[in-house]
Chains A and B, each alone.
Chain A
Amino acid sequence: MEKNNDKDHDHHDDDKSKGDEKNDDVSDARLSDDAHDQDGNSKENLDNVVKTETDLDPGDNVVSQGEEAPEIQQTLESLSEELDQLLSSLSLHKEESSIKEGSTEEEKPEDDYFQIPQFVGKFLDLFEDKLSKYDSGEPKTTWYQDPEEVSSLLEAVDRVSKLMGLLLNTKSCLDHHEPLINHAGSIQQRAMAFLEDEFRIILEESVIKEPAVVADDSSSQRKSSADQQDHQNDAVVSQDHDQMIVPESGDQEIEYPGYPEEVVVVLRQIAEKMKAGGYGWECREVFLVGRRNILMRTLKRDCEFEKVSIDEVQKMSWDTLEREIPIWNKTFKDCSSLFFPGELKLAEKIFQGDEGNLFCIVTHGLAIQFLGFAEAVAMTKRSTEKLFKILDIYETLRDSFPSMEELFPEELRSELRSEVTSARSRLGETAIHIFSDLENSIKSDSSKTPVPGGAVHPLTRYTMNYLKYSCEYKDTLEQVFKSHSKMEQEEDKPAETGNSAFASQLMRIMELLDGNLEVKSKQYKDIPLSCIFMMNNGRYIVQKIKGSAEIHEVMGDTWCRRRSSELRNYHKNYQRETWGKLLGFLGHEGLMHNGKIVKPNLKERFKSFNATFDEIHKTQTTWVVNDEQLQSELRVSITAVMIPAYRAFMARFGQYLDPGRQTEKYIKYQPEDIEDLIDQLFDGNTSSSTATARRRT
C-alpha cells in the first residue's frame, strides 16, 4: 500500500535537505502508523478497511499516479488537480455516508474509512517548499502583485484547509491518519502564519499615499505609487488575468483608505482563506491593530490631530487652544465624512458579513476621545473670547455627529449619542454662562475716566462687535438658549410664545449697555459733549446693527427706529446747548437805538461772537465724531443754522463799521470762514490749532 514512498522520495531528494528530513519523518511516521493501523485494525476495524484503490472512484487515478510518479515530474499544479478530485469525491463520499450515518452510526461505519493516497503527502511537501521559498524571499517580485501567484498560493491554502477539514471530520482518518493530520495541520499553520504576515504588510504598505484621487488616470496613479515601494519591481496586476479581475472602473475614486481595488481583493481573499481554515481571528486581529495605527497616523498627517489630555486643555493658553480647536473640528468632520465611513467600508469589503464589529473596535475609542476634548474645552475657565470656538465645536457635533453615529451599530450608537448629548449640554451651558458673564462685565464696567472727545467707548465697540459676531451664530445660539438654559425663571415660565430666547438675551445686553453708557455720559461736565458721546455711541450701535443682516433681524426695525429718534434728540440738545448761545449774539436786540446803530454794542457783539466761536471751535475740534456721516450731518446742521444767521447779521450790520482797520478788527470771519471752521469740528484734533491759523486760502 505504501509502496510508493521510497520512489517518491527519490525524485525530490535534491530539493532541500531540510525539507527532506522532515518529509522522511512524516513518511516514516505515516508508514509505521499505517502499519500499526493495519495490525490494530484487524481486531475491530478490519471490516472498515477499504482499500482506496477499490473503494474510490478516482481510485484508478491514484494507483496510476502512484506508478507513474517516478517517471514524470510532479508539480504543485499537477497534484492540485488530483487533490481537487480526491477532495470532491471524498466530500461527496462523506456526505453520502453521513446521510446514511445519520440514522445508525454503528451499523455502517465502514464507509468512513479511506486510504489517503500517497500524492497527498507529496502535495503537502511541494507546498511547504513553496512556502519556504516565500519565506526566504526568493521570488523577486512580491507575490501578491502577481495574480497568478496569488491564485496559486491561495488555492493551495484552500486545498490544505479543505483537506484538513475532511481529515478532522472523518472518524476513520482521525483513527488512522493522525500523523498525516499533524503534518497537514503543521503546514496549514505555516501557510496561515505566512498569510497573516503578508496580510499585515499589504495592509500597511499598499496604501496609495494621496487618497481621494480621481481615478481617471488610476492605472498610472497606482503604478507610480507602487514604484515608491522599494520591493515592488513589477508593474501592477495586468487587468486581463482571470483571478484578479477587478473591473477597471475608470470613474471610481480611490478614496480613503486608499487601497487600489485589487489590493482590497487580495486582502479579502486572504481573509476568506484564513477564515475558511479556521484562522479568521488572527486575520481580524492583524486588521484591527493595523487599521487603528494607520487611522491614527492618517489623522496626524492629514489633520495634524494629536490627542490632548483634558488636564492639558485646562492649562493651555487660549492662543494654543484656539489653534487646537479648528484642528479638532476638521478631524471630527473628516472622520465623520471620510475616515470612519472609509474604515467601515474597508472592513466590510474585506470581512464580509462582519456587520461593523471590526469597525467599532477600530474607531470607538477615538470617537470617545473626540468627545472628551469637547468636554475639556467646555470645562476651561470661561472667557467671552472663547464663545465662538465653543460654538464651533457645538456645531461640529451637531452637524457631523449624525452621519457618524449612523456608522455604528445600534448599541454603541445610543451610547455615543448620550456622550454627545452630554458634551453638547456642557458646551451649551458654557456658552450661556459666557453671555451672563458678558452681562456682568457690562454691568460692572465702571471706568472713571471718560473717553476724550466723547468718542465711542471701547465697551460699546467691544460689546457691539461681540454681539454682531455672535449673531453669525444666531441659529445655533437660539438652539443653545432653548435647549440648555436651566435658569430657574425659565423653568417656571412657559416658553413665551414666539419670543426668541437669544433675542431677549441680546435685548437684555443692549439695555445694560445703554444704562452703562448713560452713566458714563454723566461723567462729562460739558452737556454738549455728553450729547456727542451719546450720539457717537448710539450711532455706532445703530450702524453695527444695520450693517449686519443677522443682528438687524434679531433686533428688529422698531428697535432701530426708536434708537434713531433718540439720536435725533441728542442732536437737538447738542445744537441748542452749543449753538443756541452763539446765535444769541447775532440777534438784533440792543443794537439799534432810535433807529441808529449803537456802535459800541455792535463792536461788543462782534467781539463776543468771535470769542465764543473761537472757543467753541477750539474745544470742539478736539471732540471726536468718527462716523463720517454723523460728522457731516452735524456740520451741515450747524452750518445751516449759523451761516444764514451770520450772513444776515453781516449784511445788516457790517456796513456800520468803518472799512479798514475797524472792519478788520471786528469782522474776524467772513461767512465762508465760519463754514470752513465748522468743517473742522469733531476732528479729534488735539493740537491746539487756533481758528486763525487755518484761515481760508
Chain B
Amino acid sequence: MRPAQDNQGSFLGRISIRRNQFVDVNNEQEQEDLELFQKHIADRFTDLLSPPPPPPQQQQQPPSDETNTVVPTTATEQIMSVTWLRKLMDVFLCCEAEFKAILLMGRDPTQISKPPFDRLVPEMLDRSIKALDICTAVVNGIDSVRHYQRLAEIAVTALEQRPLGDGNVRRAKRALANLVVALSLEDKENGGGGGGGGGGGGKTTERSWSFGRRSGGSSTASKGGATIGQLKSSSWAVGRNWSAAKQIHAMTANLNPPRGNEAAGLPQPMFIMSTVMVFVMWVLTAAVPCQERSGLANHLPVPPKHLNWAQSLIGIHEKIGDEWKKKEKKGSAGLMEEMTRMEKLGHSLIEFADGFHYPSEKDAAESAAVQVAEMAEICKRMEEELVPLQQQIREVFHRIVRSRAEILEVLEQAGKLSAPVV
C-alpha cells in the first residue's frame, strides 16, 4: 500500500537503474496502475464517507440536542470528528505515496519534463507549497483547540463538584464564557487578516472587563465575563497577510480535469492527487480555527460528478459544505465535530449557569450533569487525539516537502539528460 514511503532518497537510484530497462513505458502496465490508483482513491474515500455505523442513538443527534440525555460515547468515526480527521490524514498519506510511485517509479525522467508536464508539474508543486502553509496554520489552529479543551475542562471540573454551589457555577460560567467567546471570535478575529487587526478580540474582552472592574462594576464583572483572553491570532498566524481562503483559491485556480488524450495518461493521476490534496486542506481549514477563510464554505470546486473515483469525495464535500454554510453566518471557530458539540454544550451550560440558584433544582442539575459528562467525554477524546492529529499533520507537511524535493530532483536529472553535453 505504501510502496515507496520509507526509502525516500533512493528513488533516484531506482529510476536510474530502471530507466534503461523501461525506455518505453509499458503502456498496458501503466493503464493498469492508473486504474488501480483511481480505485484505491475511491475505496478510501468511500470508507471515509460511510464509516462503520455508529450506535443508533447517535444518529438523531441534532434535533434532540437540548434535552438529549444520550451518553456521548459514540461519534468517534463521524465525519469531522478528530478520529475521522486522523483517518483522513492517513488516507492522504497513502494516496500520496501511491501517487508518487506512479509519477516517478520506473519512469524516464525526461517524460515528466515535456509538455504538458512542464506546466502541470510546476503547478502541482506550487499547490504543494501552499498546502504546507495550510498545514502550519492548522497545527496552530489545533493549538487553539487545545486551549478550548482546557477551558472546557475547567468548566467540567467546576460543574462536577458536589454539592454544586454558586461558586462552582460561576467558575464554570467564567470558563465557558471564555470558551464561547473564543469559539465565536476566532473566525471574525482571524477575518481581520491584517497584522493590526489580529488580536483585537482578545484585547476587547480584556479591556471591557478591566474597565468594568476598575470603574467599580463590583462583582458582576468578575462573575461571568470572558477574561482569560485569547491567543492573539496575529501572533500565531502563518504570516501577516496570509489567508487560507486565498491559498485554497489559488490551489484550485488552475486545477482542471485533463481532457482528450491527456485524460488517459499521467495527467489523470496528477489531477486526482491535486484534487485530493486541495480537498484535504480544505477540510482541515474547515475543521479548526484557521487564519482568514471567509468564503471557503462555498468555494471549493468539486470534480465532475461522472468521475468514479470522485463520488465519495464529493459526498463528503457536500456534507461538510452544508454544515459550513450554516455555521459561517454565525461565525465559528471550526467544524470539528467535537468543537461544534463543545460549543452547543457550552451555550447550554451557560444557560444553565444563568438560571442557577442555590440550591440547585434537581431536574436542571440532572440534565446539566449529563451535558457535563458529555463535555468531559469530548475533552477526553481531544486530550487523546489532538496531539496525534497535530503530529500527523506535521508528517503530511514533511511528506509534501520530501516529495517535492524528489520530483524536483528527477526533473533536474531530466534537464541534464536532455541538455546537450557541453
Contacts of A422 in B (CB 8 A): 398, 401-402
With contacts A282-B228, A292-B236, A296-B232 taken as known, whether A178 is within 8 angstroms of B163 at the C-beta atoms is yes
Checking B133, B151, B213 against A310 with a beta-carbon cut-off of 8 angstroms, the contacting residue is B133
Interface size on A, residues (CB 8 A): 67
B392 within 8 A of A: no
Contacting B at CB under 8 A, from A158-197, are 174, 178-179, 181-182, 184-190, 192-194, 196-197
A111 within 8 A of B: no
Classify chain B's interface size: 35 or more
What mask results when residues 481 to 495 of chain A are scored 1 for a CB within 8 Å of chain B, else 0?
Answer: 000001010010000
With both beta carbons as reference points, the residue of chain B lying nearest to A128 in the complex is identified as B219
With contacts A285-B147, A379-B129 taken as known, whether A190 is within 8 angstroms of B228 at the C-beta atoms is no
Contacts of A132 in B (CB 8 A): 218-219
Checking A185, A193, A288, A419 against B174 with a beta-carbon cut-off of 8 angstroms, the contacting residue is A193
With contacts A282-B154, A310-B129 taken as known, whether A189 is within 8 angstroms of B238 at the C-beta atoms is no
Checking B13, B165, B199, B229 against A200 with a beta-carbon cut-off of 8 angstroms, the contacting residue is B229
B260 within 8 A of A: no
A109 within 8 A of B: no
Contact A309 B227 (CB under 8 A): no
Contact B240 A307 (CB under 8 A): yes
A636 within 8 A of B: no
Contact A190 B222 (CB under 8 A): yes
With both beta carbons as reference points, the residue of chain B lying nearest to A22 in the complex is identified as B219
B221 within 8 A of A: yes
Contact A281 B157 (CB under 8 A): yes
Q: How far is the CB of B127 from chain A (nearest CB, A)?
A: 10
Q: How many A-B residue pairs have CB under 8 A?
A: 180
A136 within 8 A of B: yes
With contacts A289-B230, A306-B195 taken as known, whether A281 is within 8 angstroms of B136 at the C-beta atoms is no
Contacts of A296 in B (CB 8 A): 232, 234-236
Contacts of A184 in B (CB 8 A): 167
Contact B168 A136 (CB under 8 A): no
B381 within 8 A of A: no
B186 within 8 A of A: no
With both beta carbons as reference points, the residue of chain A lying nearest to B206 in the complex is identified as A200
Contacts of B130 in A (CB 8 A): 311
With contacts A282-B175, A293-B235, A311-B247 taken as known, whether A197 is within 8 angstroms of B213 at the C-beta atoms is yes
A435 within 8 A of B: no
B153 within 8 A of A: yes
Contacting B at CB under 8 A, from A344-372, are 361, 365, 368-369, 372
Checking B139, B153, B167, B242 against A189 with a beta-carbon cut-off of 8 angstroms, the contacting residue is B167
Contact B129 A314 (CB under 8 A): yes
Q: How far is the CB of B328 from chain A (nearest CB, A)?
A: 23
Q: Measured between alpha carbons, how far is A18 from B216 in the docked complex, in Å?
A: 13
B237 within 8 A of A: yes
With both beta carbons as reference points, the residue of chain B lying nearest to A198 in the complex is identified as B213
A→B interface (CB under 8 Å):
18, 131-132, 135-137, 174, 178-179, 181-182, 184-190, 192-194, 196-197, 200-201, 278-279, 281-282, 284-286, 288-290, 292-293, 296-297, 306-312, 314, 361, 365, 368-369, 372, 375-376, 379, 415, 419, 422, 426, 429, 433, 443-444, 446, 486, 488, 491
Query: With A185-B168, A368-B394 given, can you name 18 additional A-B contacts, CB distance below 8 Å?
Result: A18-B218, A135-B219, A185-B167, A186-B170, A187-B167, A197-B227, A279-B171, A282-B171, A284-B150, A285-B151, A286-B228, A293-B202, A309-B242, A310-B136, A372-B136, A415-B394, A419-B398, A433-B412
B→A interface (CB under 8 Å):
9, 12-13, 16, 129-130, 132-133, 136, 139-140, 143, 146-147, 150-151, 153-154, 157, 161, 163, 165-168, 170-171, 174-175, 195, 199, 202, 206, 209-210, 213-219, 221-223, 227-232, 234-240, 242, 247, 358-359, 391, 394, 398, 401-402, 404-405, 412, 422
| Leading 5 A-B pairs by shortest Cβ distance | A185-B167, A189-B167, A296-B235, A309-B239, A182-B165
